[in-house]
Amino acid sequence: MQGDFIPNCPVVIPPTDLLPQLLNAEKGTTVNKTVTVGYVDLIILSQSCDLDNNKIQQVLFCYYFSATTAGKDTKNAIIRGHRPQFHMVEKCSIENHTFDRQIIDFRSIYTLPIDFVKQYAHQLGLRVRLLPPYREHLSQAFARYFMRVGLPFPLKED
């Protein structure tokens, strides 16, 4: 569901020199490049209704990390909404699933095939999930970050 924490999720990291080979490959060609597997802490941002009703093929995620790595001023700026690229969620005290406050980074977006995500989530078993209204708060923060419009010149005050 939206708001599920998917810790240590395997993701494929393409090599930096993959583009020239892809540009010269014909459709259906096997590309012989070595890929790296990374493990990333992710949270699901795709809508639960889309996941439940098989309306999407790729699940949308963002990366999260411990807020303990951020300074007090940064954390307070995130809480006040002055750092729209980030969103903070409270610590979790559920037995066997505890963690400190987490910062979700909307600049680090991942997509994975839904069948892969379902298999991996099943293999994880019980996992932490944001509940309403925190799930909707996350979704709204994500939407606010992406709906920003940067003007080439700021409006002048009267």
pLDDT score of 32 more than 80: no
Number of domains in the chain: 1
In a domain, residue 148? The reply is no
Alpha-carbon distance 12 to 103, whole Å?
Answer: 23
Helix (H) / strand (E) element for 51: namely helix 48-52
* 37 φ/ψ angles, rounded to the nearest 5 degrees: -100, 125
In a domain, residue 125? The reply is yes
What is residue 15's predicted lDDT score, i.e. its pLDDT? 87
CA-based nearest residue to 65, from 144, 7, 135: 7
In a domain, residue 61? The reply is yes
Do residues 42 and 110 make contact, with C-beta atoms less than 8 angstroms apart? yes
Q: Are strands 102-113 and 58-66 parallel, antiparallel or unpaired?
A: antiparallel
What is residue 149's predicted lDDT score, i.e. its pLDDT? 87
Q: In which domain, by residue range, is 96 found?
A: 5-17+35-136
pLDDT tier at 24 (50, 70, 90 boundaries)? confident
In a domain, residue 22? The reply is no
In a domain, residue 112? The reply is yes
Model pTM?
0.88
In a domain, residue 53? The reply is yes
In a domain, residue 94? The reply is yes
